[in-house]
């Protein structure tokens, strides 16, 4: 839900790259109401074509249905801070959002719902129903921020088949992952942040092994997210394979 221009670290987590359903073409209905003066609830529902970004015609398979519930027991964040990394507004009072999203892609033809690669068979495209569950939370208070995310994807039959029942080799990327991320905004808008991500695809998916990534980041916000310099270092632990170390430095300006 966070724009690429408002990230707390150089890039999104592995959970996002493995499970995100991203953009699509369709319609949304949104509604909100208050339980108390401060307790806000938002409801969102979408129907889309299930093909992902940049495809405007020639819909394959069925359609995609997405529902989301958001609970904000302490009211709205400053400047929509629930959809922005870091507590740049230094919330004077604790702010919390807990949300859940359920997505059903009917007769999906890609191996990550509306993302990833097409699953091709001898008669065209392999189709299967894919369901994805997301649970996430955002907390901010006086420069401290904490975000938690969980994703789980399953499929009616994750192994793509030809018309005679033989396997094509394509597979839906079923499994789950979670991401924990936190940061603290220091004086003069310097921030230290940390992140832990775990990805655990189904053991029957070819070549997929559990991944654990640890990231330490530092950021200098010059004009908020509009002008900033960010750097981070990540250690990726791969079961039964070579571990990896990655360092990144980024200058970001947008309007």
Q: How do residues 87-117 score in pLDDT, each as one tens digit?
A: 999 999 999 999 999 999 999 999 999 999 9
Query: Who's near 202: CB < 8 A, 6+ residues apart?
Result: 158, 174, 175, 208
What's the Cα-to-Cα distance from 85 to each of 20, 105, 108, rounded to whole Å?
Answer: 17, 29, 32
| Residue 208 pLDDT exceeds 90 | no
> What pLDDT is attached to residue 53?
83
Question: What does the chain come to in residues?
Answer: 255
Over residues 19-77, the pLDDT tens digits come to 999 889 999 999 999 999 999 999 999 999 998 888 877 788 899 999 999 999 999 99
> What pLDDT is attached to residue 52?
87
Q: With 0-12 CB in 10 A as exposed, 13-18 as middle and 19+ as buried, what is 50?
A: buried
> What pLDDT is attached to residue 235?
97
Residue 6: phi and psi, rounded to 5, are -120, 30
Q: d(Cα 114, Cα 182) in Å, to the nearest integer?
A: 29
Residue 112: strand, helix, or coil: strand
Residue 114: phi and psi, rounded to 5, are -100, 15
> What pLDDT is attached to residue 154?
96
| Residue 207 pLDDT exceeds 80 | no
> What pLDDT is attached to residue 29?
98
Bridge partners (DSSP) of residue 137 are: 98, 148
DSSP 47-93: EE-SS-TT--S---S--EEEEEEEEETT-PPGGGGGGSSS-TT--SS
Could you tell me if 232 and 248 are in contact, meaning their C-beta atoms sit under 8 angstroms apart? Answer: yes
Kindly state the tokens that stand for 130. Answer: 């894919």
Kindly state the tokens that stand for 191. Answer: 């921030």
> What pLDDT is attached to residue 7?
96
> What pLDDT is attached to residue 68?
98
Over residues 140-178, the pLDDT tens digits come to 999 999 999 999 999 999 999 999 999 999 999 999 999
């Amino acid at each position: 839900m966070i724009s690429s221009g408002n990230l707390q670290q150089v890039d999104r987590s592995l959970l996002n790259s493995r499970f995100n359903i991203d953009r699509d073409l369709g319609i949304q209905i949104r509604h909100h109401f208050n339980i108390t003066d401060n307790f806000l609830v938002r409801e969102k529902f979408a129907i889309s074509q299930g093909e992902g970004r940049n495809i405007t015609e020639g819909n394959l398979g069925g359609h995609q249905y997405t529902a989301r519930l958001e609970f904000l027991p302490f009211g709205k964040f400053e400047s929509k801070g629930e959809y922005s990394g870091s507590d740049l507004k230094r919330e004077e009072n604790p702010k919390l959002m807990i949300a859940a999203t359920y997505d059903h892609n009917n007769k999906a033809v890609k191996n990550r719902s509306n993302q990833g690669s097409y699953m091709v068979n001898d008669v065209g495209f392999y189709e299967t129903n894919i369901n994805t569950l997301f649970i996430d939370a955002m907390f901010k208070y006086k420069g401290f921020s904490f975000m938690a995310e969980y994703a789980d994807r399953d499929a009616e039959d994750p192994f793509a088949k030809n018309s005679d029942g033989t396997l094509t080799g394509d597979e839906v990327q079923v499994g789950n992952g979670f991401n924990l991320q936190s940061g603290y905004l220091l004086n003069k808008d310097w921030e230290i942040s940390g992140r832990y991500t775990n990805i655990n695809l189904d053991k029957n998916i070819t070549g997929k092994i559990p991944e654990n990534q640890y990231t330490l980041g530092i950021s200098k916000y010059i004009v908020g997210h509009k002008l900033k310099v960010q750097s981070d270092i990540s250690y990726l632990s791969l079961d039964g394979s070579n571990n990896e170390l990655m360092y990144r430095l980024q200058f970001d300006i947008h309007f």
